[in-house]
Structure 1
Amino acid sequence: MKAIAMRFATLDEWLEWQLTLNPTEIRLGLDRVGAVWKKIHPAPITAQVITVSGTNGKGSSVAFLREILTASGYRVGCYTSPHLSRYNERILVDGQEAADGAICGAFEVIDQMRGEIPLTYFEFGTLAALLLFCKADLDVIILEVGLGGRLDAVNIIDADVALITTIDLDHMDWLGNTRETIGYEKAGIMRPGRPAIFAGENVPDSVLRHAREIGCPLFLAGRDFSFSSTEQSWEWQAGSSKRHSLPLPTLRGRFQLNNAAAVLMVLEQVKNRLPVDQQGVRSGLLSAKVPGRFELVGKEPVVILDVAHNPEAARALSANLGDMYCAGESVAVFSMLGDKDIDQVVATMSGVVDRWHICPLSTQRAAGIEELQTSLQRSGISPGKISVFPDCAAALAAARDCAGPQGRVVAFGSFYLVGAVRGLL
């Protein structure tokens, strides 16, 4: 039989085409993507599945899970979004990025099987990741929710364990404008009779209520598991289970211990099928890295990359900058998407940034320069402290000159911006 030629020959062509398929970039709902997945793979997934949702901390938690499980000898599949530099970053199979050819092959299968069912860019990617994972004979699959949880494409798969990192205000046009409504959406990744972990503080009532209604055992930070730390190490405890003398994570930020503690609670729930020893935990804590999360590059001046794009993430970034000595000025390279809470992010960061270099982003969702300027001025930042540049490259070059060897450059506000800046370093 003659082989059917693929619709497109390159990954870039596939991705550009997918972006034309829907009038909106985001289209929540499980009916369409679930129907296509059942046609592609009607059998249950045999690997353990861990699904991670939350406003912030998802990337770090996924990295801890991936590295600890890999160090313990398991074959791990990992799906995350968005990417910083290459689309392939989204799909890791046993520690390696999926190759262009493998992703294109998966896209072709999906395109053939979907018939007339419309799919979004994110849904194509989610199905491609699942298809590649099912072909790879993995022990465990880690799925990071793209938006919310209940109606996100990854939620077509029933998680053996669900992890909700934190809940704060973000994506309010899609998820609601209170922590309670957002909590309900994120709690949608829970399943009856299967454990879920909440890593943050002040769990919303909507999360507690949903867990009770569906019969999901929910474990809370501070109540069901806890940690204590010194300057050199930390300890973790959940009932009679304890882990002593753990190394502090390589990932920077005071909040990383909260993420790591919740990850250990996730692993506690799967220990009968995926046991991990102390050495695996230690190795994973030290090897976990996430580009663009308080990532320090170069020196004189150091450039700090952080994808903080909502108020909670801005608070964490502000605290981390406050903990880090700087002899000179802090110069921001800054831009955001128009559907984000720009005012709150700017207000939070205004106390730790001395000068602001703003630039446009290469996406239709980007906030305009005038909108950014207005937000900065509403927070009391004088026009003399704000400089406008035509692109990220110009903003970065000027920021490095402005900061000088004693200062620092902080690039933050969006994945788009951090990805572009990172590619210049």
Structure 2
Amino acid sequence: MRFQTLADWLAWQETLHPKSIDLGLSRVKTVYGRLLPRATPLFTITVGGTNGKGSCVAMLDSILRQQGYRVGTYTSPHLLCYNERIRIDGRPVSDELICNAFERIERVRNKTTLSFFEFGTLAALDIFATADLDVQVLEVGLGGRLDAVNIIDADAALIASIDLDHQDWLGDTRAAIGLEKAGIFRPGRPAVIGDTDVPATVIRYAFEHSMPVTCFGRDFGYEVFDEGWNWCGRDTQLTALPLPALQGNHQLINASAVLELLQRIEGSLPVGESAIRDGLRLVSLSGRFQYIPASVPVLLDVAHNPQAVKVLADYLSSRFDGKTIHAVFAVMRDKDIHGIIYNIKDLVEHWYLAPLEMSRAATADQLSAVFDSLGVATVRSGFEDAASAFDAAQQNAESGQLVLVFGSFFLVSEILAHIS
């Protein structure tokens, strides 16, 4: 074997390709054809979206497993360990399984370059191919049309939301980004969109390519009451459902899209109402409105674009109204930093800029310039690392106040590891 440990494999993969992101399917499709030339097709659900895709994958996984199906999920990025990306029946697979998959990929790769994400995608597909699964649920990494998971023709696909993010790769309008995400749809196969304002270009694209698309607000939706909620589809209703265990009102939109997709594939993967109820109650997902109770409680969220931060701000307003909030913050410099800070600045009393050892991360000086432009004065920087920024926030916060950690998956990952 080329490397003996998962850490060594991952470190090598980070140096293998000259670009961290290299959208396109030709290279990864070539290697996949060599790796699994006679693979038996697995029922595949592909999930994309600007925000909410991780939550949708988690709910699909939870409900399908409650029905008794054997489910493989592939997601990214991870929070605490790489193995989280590849799960079977809710559990991360072992280092040994991943290393063996990497070795098989390396044997057939020849001189084809693969990115870090492409290596991981192929490893997940390789592991799932021999795991006796009923269904694999694949989360898009970036966009959809040219993302590595799109080498698999999905039997059904879901787009959770469409908004501005990764504009350098996907386009600078919701219409353009929506078309990139709609690339995971296939003619004649169920396509579900959970966005509340679907661009007309996406609807037209689906119609022109005979993709039977259903949309939130037009074809399905929900109504909420004190103890639960009702889901309404074209021909079906589910009443008095338990609220999803994932926090935030926006999760009802995600859950609605998930239930619509399950209705659309009931001929292949029938799911009973009891499995839906239990799956919603038991679903879990780290880093999404994750609350850690204490005298100074901590809330962690991976919100990293203006849309997600607006959802976070709404949640803070409803759940922590009147509380003093200390925010530990880091973000990648290619994000809409102005829009992110603008959407939450009125709720945060004190800011702590957490340094990340990544070339993509915005520096304290870059962030300070944005805070200055928005008239935000209570900003602290100069910390040795993210953990030091978090510790400072906890020390300065008084009992009953809140420490918020948000802005980047990488920041939430570091703080979760620090807390652990």
TM-score, normalised via structure 2 length: 0.98
Aligned-partner SS, 2:311: helix
- Kindly state the Cα deviation for residue 388 of structure 1 after the two structures are TM-superposed: 3.6
Residue 117 in structure 1 maps to residue 112 in structure 2? yes
Equivalent positions of 1:86-105 (< 5 A) are 86-105=81-100
Residue 415 in structure 1 maps to residue 409 in structure 2? yes
Aligned amino acid, residue 59 of structure 2: F
Q: 2:306 aligns with which of 306, 311, 334?
A: 311
Corresponding residue of 2:362:
367
Corresponding residue of 1:73:
68
Corresponding residue of 1:357:
352
Residue 342 in structure 1 maps to residue 337 in structure 2? yes
Aligned-partner SS, 2:291: strand
- Kindly state the Cα deviation for residue 385 of structure 1 after the two structures are TM-superposed: 3.9
Equivalent positions of 1:20-169 (< 5 A) are 20-43=15-38, 45-169=40-164
Do 2:222 and 2:231's aligned partners in 1 also have CA atoms closer than 8 Å?
yes
Residue deviations 1:136-179, cap 9 Å, x none?
01001000000000000000000011100101110111111110
TM-score, normalised via structure 1 length: 0.97
Aligned-partner SS, 1:351: helix
Do 2:162 and 2:195's aligned partners in 1 also have CA atoms closer than 8 Å?
yes
Aligned-partner SS, 1:20: helix
Corresponding residue of 1:198:
193
Q: Distance in 1 between matches of 2:137 and 2:295?
A: 38
Deviates more, 1:222-231 or 1:161-170: 222-231
Do 1:54 and 1:166's aligned partners in 2 also have CA atoms closer than 8 Å?
yes
Aligned-partner SS, 2:343: helix
Unaligned runs of 5+ in 1: 1-5
| Cα-Cα RMSD | 1.1
Equivalent positions of 1:281-292 (< 5 A) are 281-292=276-287
Runs of 4+ residues deviating >4 angstroms: none
Q: Distance in 1 between matches of 2:31 and 2:18?
A: 20
Do 1:326 and 1:408's aligned partners in 2 also have CA atoms closer than 8 Å?
no
Q: 1:403 aligns with which of 389, 397, 402?
A: 397
Q: Distance in 1 between matches of 2:165 and 2:399?
A: 35
Q: Distance in 1 between matches of 2:303 and 2:320?
A: 20
Residue 389 in structure 1 maps to residue 386 in structure 2? no
Q: 1:256 aligns with which of 251, 267, 270?
A: 251
Residue deviations 1:123-146, cap 9 Å, x none?
000000000001101001000000
Aligned-partner SS, 2:232: strand
Q: Distance in 1 between matches of 2:40 and 2:84?
A: 22
CA distance 1:421–1:213, change in 2 (3 Å): same
Give the share of equivalent positions with the same residue, in percent: 48
- Kindly state the Cα deviation for residue 298 of structure 1 after the two structures are TM-superposed: 2.6
Q: Distance in 2 between matches of 1:143 and 1:254?
A: 24
Q: Distance in 1 between matches of 2:26 and 2:208?
A: 23
Corresponding residue of 1:3:
none
Q: 1:240 aligns with which of 229, 235, 239?
A: 235
Do 2:330 and 2:408's aligned partners in 1 also have CA atoms closer than 8 Å?
yes
CA distance 1:326–1:398, change in 2 (3 Å): farther
Aligned-partner SS, 2:223: strand
Aligned amino acid, residue 214 of structure 1: H
Q: Distance in 2 between matches of 1:223 and 1:176?
A: 26
Q: Distance in 1 between matches of 2:49 and 2:165?
A: 10
Q: Distance in 2 between matches of 1:224 and 1:388?
A: 51
Do 1:326 and 1:407's aligned partners in 2 also have CA atoms closer than 8 Å?
no
Q: Distance in 1 between matches of 2:414 and 2:177?
A: 30
Q: Distance in 1 between matches of 2:288 and 2:281?
A: 15
Residue 170 in structure 1 maps to residue 165 in structure 2? yes
Aligned-partner SS, 1:423: helix
Corresponding residue of 2:262:
267
Do 1:389 and 1:395's aligned partners in 2 also have CA atoms closer than 8 Å?
yes
Do 2:87 and 2:93's aligned partners in 1 also have CA atoms closer than 8 Å?
yes
Deviates more, 1:207-216 or 1:287-296: 207-216
Unaligned runs of 5+ in 2: none
Q: 1:227 aligns with which of 222, 225, 230?
A: 222
Do 2:163 and 2:174's aligned partners in 1 also have CA atoms closer than 8 Å?
yes
